[in-house]
Amino acid sequence: MSKQLQVAAIQNGTVIDHIPNEKLVEVVRLLHLERLPNSSIMIGYNLNSEQLGHKSLIKVSNHYFSKEELDTLCIAIPNATLSIIEDYQIKEKRAFDMPSDFDNIVVCPNPMCITNNEPMPTKFHYCADKKVLKCHYCGKEVETDEVRFTK
């Protein structure tokens, strides 16, 4: 017997799965889903999950997110999975991989930092050993779950 789908399949697009329930609204906001007029978007909240107990997921038809958007999700929902769907088939399924650099995604919490005083993009490096983001300009370290995003 095939497993029943909790949310309908899409023909082409992106599926973001294993989103913690409490992160769903933030992810919807970070991806600006309201600005995708050509996409059908299905959002599942509090679905059953073998791994998490409960989870949320988002299916977006006819849209593939930019590297910048996916890098943002690496920080917001590091344990979620990303699937690229083409013609109802999963073309690619993977975890979010943390990039080593984040360009203009994270706000520096240091008010003295040049990025908070000049009109310029921020830049952070990911330090895998400490699991923190470090400002390229002032060296301020930010825990990934305390990040404020630029958008």
Contacts of 7 (CB under 8 A, 6+ apart): 42, 44, 47, 57, 59
**Which of residues 52 and 138 has its CB atom nearest to Zn ion in the complex?**
138
DSSP state at residue 98? P
Of the residues 40, 61, 110, 144, which one makes contact with Zn ion according to CB under 5 A: 110
Near Zn ion by CB under 5 A, which window of 39-47, 51-59, 93-101, 107-115? 107-115
Near Zn ion by CB under 5 A, which window of 4-12, 14-22, 60-68, 133-141? 133-141
Q: Order of strands across the sheet with 13-19?
A: 41-49, 53-61, 13-19, 81-86, 89-95
Of the residues 18, 123, 125, 140, which one makes contact with Zn ion according to CB under 5 A: 140
CA 70 to centroid of chain Cα atoms: 5
User: Does residue number 138 form part of the binding site for Zn ion (CB under 5 A)?
Assistant: yes
Structure tokens at 57: 């997921």
CA 55 to centroid of chain Cα atoms: 15
Sign of CA pseudo-dihedral 70, 147, 23, 95: positive
Closest distance between Zn ion and the C-beta of residue 76, in Å? 20
Structure tokens at 145: 């779950």
Near Zn ion by CB under 5 A, which window of 4-12, 15-23, 57-65, 106-114? 106-114
Of the residues 85, 113, 133, 147, which one makes contact with Zn ion according to CB under 5 A: 113
User: Does residue number 108 form part of the binding site for Zn ion (CB under 5 A)?
Assistant: yes
Structure tokens at 88: 């109802």
**Which of residues 5 and 112 has its CB atom nearest to Zn ion in the complex?**
112
Contacting positions for Zn ion (CB under 5 A)? 108, 110, 113, 135, 137-138, 140
